[in-house]
Amino acid sequence: MSKTYTIIRIAQAVNGQAQGDASRTITGISSVEAAGPEQITWVAQDALLKKLSGCRAGAVLIRPQWAPEVPVGITAILVERPSHAIITVLGMFDESAAVAPGIHPTAVIDATAVLGANVSVGPHAVIGPQAFIGDNTVLHAGVFIGQATCVGVNCVLWPNVVVRERCLIGSRVIIHPNATIGADGFGYELIDGRHVKIPQIGNVVIEDDVEIGANTCIDRAKFASTRIGQGTKIDNQVQIAHNVEIGQGAILAGQVAVGGSVKIGPYCVLAGRAGVADHAVLGSQVVVASCSCVSGVIPDKAQLAGIYAFDVQDWRRSQIAVRRLPKLLEQVRELARRVAELESAKNDTNRG
Amino acid sequence: MSKTYTIIRIAQAVNGQAQGDASRTITGISSVEAAGPEQITWVAQDALLKKLSGCRAGAVLIRPQWAPEVPVGITAILVERPSHAIITVLGMFDESAAVAPGIHPTAVIDATAVLGANVSVGPHAVIGPQAFIGDNTVLHAGVFIGQATCVGVNCVLWPNVVVRERCLIGSRVIIHPNATIGADGFGYELIDGRHVKIPQIGNVVIEDDVEIGANTCIDRAKFASTRIGQGTKIDNQVQIAHNVEIGQGAILAGQVAVGGSVKIGPYCVLAGRAGVADHAVLGSQVVVASCSCVSGVIPDKAQLAGIYAFDVQDWRRSQIAVRRLPKLLEQVRELARRVAELESAKNDTNRG
Amino acid sequence: MSKTYTIIRIAQAVNGQAQGDASRTITGISSVEAAGPEQITWVAQDALLKKLSGCRAGAVLIRPQWAPEVPVGITAILVERPSHAIITVLGMFDESAAVAPGIHPTAVIDATAVLGANVSVGPHAVIGPQAFIGDNTVLHAGVFIGQATCVGVNCVLWPNVVVRERCLIGSRVIIHPNATIGADGFGYELIDGRHVKIPQIGNVVIEDDVEIGANTCIDRAKFASTRIGQGTKIDNQVQIAHNVEIGQGAILAGQVAVGGSVKIGPYCVLAGRAGVADHAVLGSQVVVASCSCVSGVIPDKAQLAGIYAFDVQDWRRSQIAVRRLPKLLEQVRELARRVAELESAKNDTNRG
């Protein structure tokens, strides 16, 4: 059953001031274009403000200075930062499944594993010897926790996540379904025509407040640790190779790939499908555009795009130039013809 | 044990006319090049017709007008569309494991879940509270169905597929192993240097007749629904972000990535590893070439290629031009030298 | 508890000669820069030799001719090939979880499956009818082995790996978590506006000594087999489509994609996120650079880079040229202006 709130209740929750009929009932959230009279929406950008005149929402989160733009019949909730307030409202309407507390009888938990208070373990989850699971952490159905792996407090591991042995997962970490943490790094030595496997004896360390997307892979180190810094957020199908070190607060969007031994500084942003070549070193707050690949040493705050990426402004100009290339080839041929003609005329003159 | 059929039996199944010895036995299917005397093959393109003279197959599906090309000793089965007929024959030789009917005793099914008639549930599968599973649907081993998720009739979910809570899966949907449906969309708001998670309270709606590849991810919406249209086919390792809407009959090949809130019209084709940037809008029947990335608004039937993709014909020409670039740079330098020489000569003349 | 060895013990294991105090105790492995006095490191390249003067390790594996460079206080172990010796030492310090022997009582094994001697089956693993598992093979928790699939001896399948029906896995094969082997190939025929599924009735054959990364997908053939050759190593999130044939000893790095019916010769190397288009044929020892896509027929030992990849040397030059494109466009415009001026001057002269 859906949740419902009065507008006055929502206004209180976001520390906002209601303007209009605050007794109306709200049953959900939608966009400025799609919201109906029982839904709330929000205006955080100028672009949306223009669409407000046709809006049919019951309520709108909006900055005080934009209040005059709210059509009659829509109750405004005035807040300084609508983009922050909507997070609170989304949370109020969140119907995520409450997890059944306690340990499901089909879970297999080694006798030497230690579980904190209020841990939930779903059906068919497996927890290995000497593993540790912190207070309030939820391991959903089919999760695998390897030997001597530690998971902190208030974590959520969604179904079928695999974390292999001796890894360290911090607190408040979220890992989405089918992600793989701690598989062997990819390393071989070619000896007599045979790829001999290099043992990968390190582990993975995930610091606090990290989120890891579905089907993402983070490999264990050859030795020492592959490390993901505090508060870093990683999307789905991201590949992070062995011995990578990522600082705090980085953002890695879907299908990003990070090669072996790469170092990524704090608050870097790798857009969708960005790639980082083995051994590259990115400073802090570097931004790599989507579908781009970087290598080498990248200074702080650089913004890069392209394959063998270079400065994003130069890259945009070069991309435009690329489209003109077929025409340019023709122009150069034509110029060459005309220069030859001039030269020939000059020679005639000289001879003449 | 392999299945065997007489050629006459196969000809009947495909509504074809046998020409030659139709009493022979066929035990399998192979290509024109590799087929042996107990195998059937098919010729659907001119290119294969040329290879027919060396063919050793027992039977061949072929158009009536090409019958004269069939070598002596091979029985022809004449059909208007060999590429359609071979689908029927492949089905005849399909040895896919028959699924053990009924509910495996190790499956964990919440008491409030509702299962239709003739549902199969494999070992260690988990079905959450208030979930609904339609008639004849097969959930293989280790499948997870979250709270209040509905799956239609005649679906097949292969092992270890995860579908989180409150999603809607239509009828005749096939989902391959380790796919993840309904994980949280990737959304954060940077507040005081901290990436605050935006609750993702929507769901995923998969319409009828959709097929979803192994290890593919389809994220739940921030609010409302991420939606995959009727009859759309999605390959392995595809990433579909939150609030995407895909029309009917689209084709998404392996490793495609679709950014947040993208709209894709009916019968679009995204070739292998094509990417679509956040908020892009593709009309109907748009084709994006492999390894290409598109953004913005794309009109119906556009055919695009390249990073920051543009028209595929222009792109091909520009790619050829790119290869000539090093030489072009030299030519321009040389031209510049010659022009300077001419100018200097002219100045001499003027002065002279 | 960590393992410890004396230096003399390590020197014996690698057939090396200790130079310095060989009675010291070593507790682990680290890099030249990070190693402390209880750790061993190795020098395999000139670049590392330069860093050796500041090294604080207890021991170093090094070539005899470089022995004079080892600082006082570090015990040298002289070996001809430090990069080979370190593999042995990594193995000595490997603390991989010993797998509990035997069949876990929660595993579901069909009565018609056959298991060799000393097989380990983890919790909640599922083995289908007529499946065969060879001696000493380890199937971790949640692994699914389909009907009539055979797995050879001494294999390790990590948690939640899915291998569907009728596939053949050789001996000493390693498959990392959440990998999917034998899902349906991606094939449809458009009939009356409907994508009709083409049955995928073949299988997957993995030869001996292959390693397959986490969340990698290898699709079953339309008919016959998708085949991975002996000793080939495949990284995480690689997509291999139906009917691909890969020779022995190939290397496929993370996120590589291989299209349908591709043939790849022995000892090819596909770097990270390389792509191979449907029906391409690569000779032996072909190298494809990262983020590059190849198609068509590629001769032995070709080295390719770029989208619509061409020779890697040409490609590097063209990439450099691309960066100069915006400037080149200006130069050509300027040249055109100057040529026009010269022509006009010539015409004036002619008229004058």
CA–CA separation, C130 and C113 (whole Å): 5
Kindly report, residue by residue over B107-159, the tens digit of the pLDDT: 999 999 999 999 999 999 999 999 999 999 999 999 999 999 999 999 999 99
Per the CB < 8 A criterion, the answer to whether C182 and C201 are in contact is: no
| Nearest-Cα residue of chain C relative to residue B250 | C195
| Nearest-Cα residue of chain A relative to residue B334 | A336
Per residue of chain A (352 residues), what is the pLDDT tens digit?
A: 478 999 999 999 999 999 999 999 999 999 999 999 999 999 988 888 889 999 999 999 999 999 999 999 999 999 999 999 999 999 999 887 667 789 999 999 999 999 999 999 999 999 999 999 999 999 999 999 999 999 999 999 999 999 999 999 999 999 999 999 999 999 999 999 999 999 999 999 999 999 999 999 999 999 999 999 999 999 999 999 999 999 999 999 999 999 999 999 999 999 999 999 999 999 999 999 999 999 999 999 999 988 777 777 787 788 788 878 888 888 888 888 888 888 888 777 776 5
DSSP A223: S
- Neighbors of chain C with 3 or more C-beta pairs under 8 Å: A, B
pLDDT at C345: 82
- Neighbors of chain A with 3 or more C-beta pairs under 8 Å: B, C
Pick among B104, B288, B307 to test the A interface (most A CBs inside 10 A) = B307
- Domain extents for chain C? 5-93, 102-311
Q: CATH fold of C102-311, please?
A: UDP N-Acetylglucosamine Acyltransferase; domain 1 (2.160.10)
Residue B297's SS3 state is strand
Q: How far is CA C276 from the centre of its chain?
A: 16
Of A189, A190, A163, whose CA–CA distance to A175 is shortest? Answer: A163
Q: Which amino acid makes up residue C303?
A: Q
Looking at the partner chain, which of A142, A160, A198 has a beta carbon nearest the beta carbon of C90?
A198
CB contact under 8 A, A319 and B308: yes
Could you give the residue numbers annotated as active site of C? 242
C291 C-beta neighbours (distance < 10 Å), count: 24
pLDDT over 70 at B352, yes or no: no
CB contact under 8 A, A97 and B146: yes
pLDDT range class, residue C97, cuts 50, 70, 90: low
The active-site residue, picked from B124, B176, B242, B279, is B242
| Nearest-Cα residue of chain A relative to residue C86 | A198
ipTM: 0.92
pLDDT over 90 at B97, yes or no: no
Q: How many CA atoms lie within 13 A of B158 on its CB side?
A: 31
pLDDT over 60 at B35, yes or no: yes
Sorted by sequence, the CB contacts under 8 Å of residue C264 that are 6+ apart come out as C244, C245, C246, C247, C250, C258, C270, C276, C282, C286
Tokens of B95: 């040895």
pLDDT at B338: 86
CB contact under 8 A, A343 and B339: no
CATH of domain C5-93: 3.40.1390.10
Of A31, A52, A44, whose CA–CA distance to A82 is shortest? Answer: A44
pTM recorded for the entire structure: 0.93
CA–CA separation, C40 and C88 (whole Å): 12
DSSP C103: B
> Is A195 assigned a catalytic role?
no
CA–CA separation, C132 and A179 (whole Å): 28
Of A217, A131, A139, A138, whose CA–CA distance to A182 is shortest? Answer: A217
DSSP bridge pairs for A6:
A25
Rg of chain A (C-alpha set): 28
Kindly report, residue by residue over A294-307, the tens digit of the pLDDT: 999 999 999 998 87
